[in-house]
Amino acid sequence: MPGSDGSPAARREIVRIANEAALGPLARVLASTLPPHAFLALDGDLGAGKTTFVKALAAAAGIDPAEVVSPTFGLVHVHPLPEGHPACRLVHADLYRLAGCDDLFELGWEELTAAPGWVAAEWSTRIKPALPADRLDIFLEVESETARRASFTSQASAFGPLFEALARLDNASPG
């Protein structure tokens, strides 16, 4: 669906996550439909569940979730995906402490994001001008103490299978 200006129109799906257990099925949908080179821009308040979300995605892709700890201090953690996985690795970044895009150079950001793999970047709005156009935006909102709402937005066609799967997930659990 091209937009009137020729740029592809953004697709959006909103998924309600009733509790942490419900995160598992959603993470499995992601893990099975993400392209091998995918940038996930993950935002939401402190305590919204960004790291928990990445932990669930890692678990769904075969990484020991206990290995996936908050990267706030270390800034970037690189987790190899199981042997033979097309995405090779999951780069888990937390950009909360960054002052801006200038700090990315020191992080080796280009090397981390140019190679095939999944990049899950928490607090991505800290580096908005440096975000790739073909990213998947994921915004987490607190609904209640246990429930979250996740909005997925992207204009990249590579996420087509994901959006179709999310739409099916949404239809399967109305409300």
Partner 1 sequence: MPLLAIETTCDETAAAVIDRSRRVLSSVVASQDELHARWRGVVPELASRAHVERIVPVIDEALARSGVARESLEAVAVAVRPGLVGSLLVGLSAAKGIAAVLGCPLVGYDHIAAHLYACRLAHGERMTYPCVGLVASGGHTSLFHLRSPLELERLGGTIDDAAGEAFDKAAALLGLAYPGGPSMERAAARGNPAAHRFPRPLATDRERMDVSFSGLKTALRYRVRPPGAPDDTPLPTGQALADLAASFQLAVVETILAKVDLALAKTKCRVLAVGGGVTANTALREALERLGKKRRVDVLIPPRELCTDNAAMGGIAWERLERGEDDGLELDVRPGTDRSAARGR
Chain positions contacting partner 1, by CB under 8 A: 45-47, 49, 51-52, 55, 65-67, 69-70, 72-75, 77, 96-99, 102-103, 105-108, 142-145
Rg (CA), the chain: 16
Residue given tokens 């949404």 in the structure block: 170
Beta bridge partners, 79, equal 90
CA distances from 78 to 2, 37, 74, 97, 117 (A): 35, 15, 11, 18, 10
Q: How far is the CB of 41 from partner 1 (least distance, A)?
A: 20
Distance of CA 148 to the CA centre of its chain: 15
If the CB atoms of residues 52 and 155 are measured against partner 1, the closer one turns out to be: 52
If the CB atoms of residues 126 and 135 are measured against partner 1, the closer one turns out to be: 126
Tokens, residue 26: 């959603």
If the CB atoms of residues 122 and 163 are measured against partner 1, the closer one turns out to be: 122
Q: How far is the CB of 52 from partner 1 (least distance, A)?
A: 7
Q: How far is the CB of 113 from partner 1 (least distance, A)?
A: 16
If the CB atoms of residues 3 and 74 are measured against partner 1, the closer one turns out to be: 74
Per residue, what are the HEC states of 79-116?
Answer: EECCCCCCCCEEEEEECCCCCCHHHHHHHCHHHHHHCC
If the CB atoms of residues 70 and 151 are measured against partner 1, the closer one turns out to be: 70
Q: How far is the CB of 136 from partner 1 (least distance, A)?
A: 23
CA distances from 71 to 9, 11, 121, 122 (A): 33, 29, 10, 9
Q: How far is the CB of 43 from partner 1 (least distance, A)?
A: 15
